Structure 1
Amino acid sequence: MTTPDLKRRRVYTTIGNARSSLQLLATEALMTLPDLRLAALALAAALSLSPGATAFAQNTEAAFRTSTLNLSATGEVRAPPDIVTLALGATSEASSAQAATTQTTQRINAVVAALRRQGIAPRDIQTQYVNLTPRYSDNSNAPREIIPQRATTALMVTVRDIDRAGALMDIAIAAGANQVQGVRFGLSDPAAAKRQARDTALRALQDNAAQVADVMGHRVVRLVTVSAQAYSEIVMTANRVQEPSAPGSRFEPGEIVINANANGVFEIAPK
Structure 2
Amino acid sequence: MKKLSALFATFLFALTMNAQNPTAMQTPQISVSGVGKVSIKPDQATITIGTENRGSEAVAVKKENDVAIANIIKYLKKMKIAEKDYQTQRVNLYKNRDYETKQDYFQANQTITIQLKDLANYEELMLGLIQAGANQIQGVEFKSSKEADYQTEARTKAVANAKKKATDYANALGQKVGKAIFVSDESVSYSPRPVMYAAKAGMSADMESLDQTLAIGEIEVSANVSINFNLE
TM-score by length of structure 2 reads 0.80
Counterpart amino acid of 2:84?
A: R
Is 1:159 the counterpart of 2:119 in the alignment?
no
Task: Tell me whether 1:199 sits opposite 2:199 in the alignment.
Answer: no
Q: Which residue of 1 aligns with 2:217?
A: 254
**Corresponding residue for residue 168 of structure 2:** 211
CA displacement 1:244-265 (0-9 Å, x = unmatched): xxx7462111111011111111
- Tell me if the contact between 1:88 and 1:177 (Cα under 8 Å) persists in the aligned partners: yes
| Aligned match of 2:205 | none
Q: Which residue of 2 aligns with 1:58?
A: 18
CA distance 1:164–1:105, shift in 2 (3 Å): same
Deviation at 1:112, TM superposition (A): 1.1
Residue 128 (str. 1) matches residue 85 (str. 2)? no
The Cα RMSD (Å) is: 2.6
The answer to whether structure 1 residue 86 and structure 2 residue 50 are counterparts is no
The answer to which of 207-216 and 148-157 deviates more is 207-216
**Match of 1:156, SS?**
strand
The aligned runs of 1:9-24 (5 Å cut-off) are: none
Distance change >3 Å, CA 265–CA 196, structure 1 → 2: same
CA–CA separation in structure 1 for the residues paired with 2:44 and 2:174: 50
Tell me the distance in 2 between the aligned counterparts of 1:59 and 1:263.
28
SS at match of 1:234: coil
How many pairs are equivalent?
A: 207
Report which of the two structures shows the higher radius of gyration computed on alpha carbons. Answer: 1
Query: Is it true that 1:99 corresponds to 2:60 in the alignment?
Result: yes
Of 168, 186, 191, 1:233 maps to 191
CA distance in 2: counterparts of 1:236 and 1:138, whole angstroms: 39
What does 1:58-77 correspond to in 2, within 5 Å? 58=18, 61=21, 63-64=23-24, 66-77=27-38
Mapped partners of 1:209, 1:236: distance in 2:
32
Letter in 2 for 1:256: I
Question: Does structure 2 retain, via aligned residues, the 8 Å contact 1:232–1:257?
Answer: no
C-alpha contact (below 8 Å) 2:194/2:217 kept by paired residues = no
Structure 1 length-normalised TM: 0.69
Matches within 5 A, 1:180-191: 180-191=137-148
Q: Name the structure 2 match of 1:32.
A: none
Percent identity reads 26
Identify the residue that residue 75 of structure 2 maps to in structure 1: 114
Deviation per CA, 1:201-227, whole angstroms, max 9, x where unpaired?
A: 101212221221011111123322112
Q: Identify unmatched segments of 5+ residues in structure 2.
A: 1-8, 196-209
Distance (Å, rounded) in 2 between the aligned partners of 1:221 and 1:55: 28
